[in-house]
């Protein structure tokens, strides 16, 4: 047994030293030498104060959590309570999950006898795909006898605000868009990390009129800023052009 024990201990010590200390120090040294800005978090400072990171998304909201109309807004986040680097992740909801896509007649059963329902019994005039909330604010996808629901003053159902249809409704209302207007997919879905710092060009263009109104700026000036902050495809062919929300908002502050 001693013949096997000693080599095992020696190998453990060597691998610990090489992989536990040597490799991390080597990679850190290379990154700090060649990519120091990125290795330190791509932190952005304005007037000596930390404004954020170009690599991590963040909210631009009031103390109550309401989005600020004078700023471009990032895509939704499922990381903790939102953009939480210590709880990065996605919702991992499937494409037929009512918590994501809402109630789709003919597909979702939502507890109605186990068979696809031909209609949505919770539909509202504004949201035909409404998933109702209970009085505690939890979405109800499997009703039980005697289930109680949160109701509006008009007697309709209060819908889960985190479904794609509800996010689309809120996006159109916030940006002054017509009902049924196309909405960019990144405006109503979260990224895999929940920390994506970028939005699509179309998302930024849709928000530009609202930002211009809130800041009393010419729309053409805000649109020009969006185009100037647009980043091309990675390596010229990967992905789509994007706009970094932090960079765009910091540049926007320079206009006013």
Tell whether the torsion through CA atoms of 83, 84, 89 and 92 is positive or negative. Answer: negative
Kindly give the pairing relationship between strand 230-231 and strand 198-200. unpaired
Provide mean pLDDT across the span 4-33.
84
| pLDDT tens per residue, range 21-39 | 888 888 887 877 776 666 6
CA dist 58 and 196 (Å) reads 9
Domain check: are 218 and 162 in the same one? Answer: no
Domain check: are 104 and 165 in the same one? Answer: yes
**169 falls in which pLDDT band (50, 70, 90)?**
very high
Looking at the domain assignment, is residue 99 inside a domain?
A: yes
Domain check: are 235 and 170 in the same one? Answer: no
Domain check: are 21 and 97 in the same one? Answer: no
Looking at the domain assignment, is residue 47 inside a domain?
A: no
Q: How far is residue 254 from each of residues 62, 80, 199, 208, 231, measured CA to CA in Å?
A: 20, 31, 20, 16, 19
Please list the residues that pair with 200 across neighbouring strands.
242
Domain check: are 198 and 235 in the same one? Answer: yes
Looking at the domain assignment, is residue 15 inside a domain?
A: yes
Q: Pick the residue with more confidence: 94 or 201?
A: 201
Looking at the domain assignment, is residue 114 inside a domain?
A: yes
Count of domains observed in the chain = 3
Q: Pick the residue with more confidence: 171 or 45?
A: 171
Looking at the domain assignment, is residue 163 inside a domain?
A: yes
Q: Which domain holds residue 35?
A: 2-39
**pTM summary value:** 0.83
**231 falls in which pLDDT band (50, 70, 90)?**
very high
Looking at the domain assignment, is residue 24 inside a domain?
A: yes
Domain check: are 195 and 75 in the same one? Answer: yes
| Of 194, 163, 205, residue with least CA distance to 56 | 194
Looking at the domain assignment, is residue 45 inside a domain?
A: no
Other residues' Cβ atoms within 10 Å of the Cβ of residue 114: 6
| Of 155, 157, 164, 153, residue with least CA distance to 134 | 157
Domain check: are 198 and 72 in the same one? Answer: yes
Domain check: are 78 and 128 in the same one? Answer: no
Q: Which residues contact 125 (CB under 8 A, 6 or more apart)?
A: 156
CA angle 10, 13, 17 (to 5 degrees): 140
Tell me: pLDDT of 132 over 80.
yes
Looking at the domain assignment, is residue 97 inside a domain?
A: yes
Helices (H), the chain: 2-15, 23-34, 36-39, 98-101, 164-174, 201-215, 219-228, 245-253
Domain check: are 195 and 174 in the same one? Answer: no
Q: How far is residue 13 from each of residues 4, 18, 24, measured CA to CA in Å?
A: 15, 9, 16
Structure tokens at 251: 């540049």
């Amino acid at each position: 047994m001693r013949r096997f024990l000693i080599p095992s201990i020696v190998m453990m010590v060597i691998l610990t030293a090489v992989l536990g200390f040597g490799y991390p120090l080597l990679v850190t040294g290379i990154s700090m030498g060649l990519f120091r800005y990125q290795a330190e978090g791509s932190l952005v400072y304005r007037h000596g104060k930390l404004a954020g990171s170009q690599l991590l998304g963040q909210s631009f909201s009031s103390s109550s959590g309401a989005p600020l109309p004078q700023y471009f807004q990032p895509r939704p986040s499922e990381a903790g309570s939102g953009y939480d680097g210590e709880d990065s992740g996605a919702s991992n909801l499937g494409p037929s999950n009512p918590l994501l896509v809402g109630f789709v007649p003919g597909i979702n059963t939502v507890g109605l006898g186990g068979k696809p329902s031909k209609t949505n019994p919770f539909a509202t005039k504004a949201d035909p795909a409404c998933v109702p909330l209970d009085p505690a604010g939890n979405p109800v996808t499997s009703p039980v006898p005697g289930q109680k629901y949160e109701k509006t003053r008009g007697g309709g159902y209060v819908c889960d605000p985190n479904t794609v249809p509800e996010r689309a409704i809120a996006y159109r209302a916030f940006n002054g868009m017509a009902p049924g207007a196309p909405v960019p997919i990144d405006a109503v879905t979260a990224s895999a990390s929940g920390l994506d710092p970028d939005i699509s060009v179309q998302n930024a263009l849709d928000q530009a009129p609202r930002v211009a109104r809130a800041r009393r700026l010419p729309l053409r000036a805000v649109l020009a800023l969006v185009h100037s902050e647009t980043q091309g495809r990675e390596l010229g062919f990967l992905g789509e052009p994007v706009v970094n929300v932090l960079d765009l908002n910091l540049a926007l502050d320079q206009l006013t």
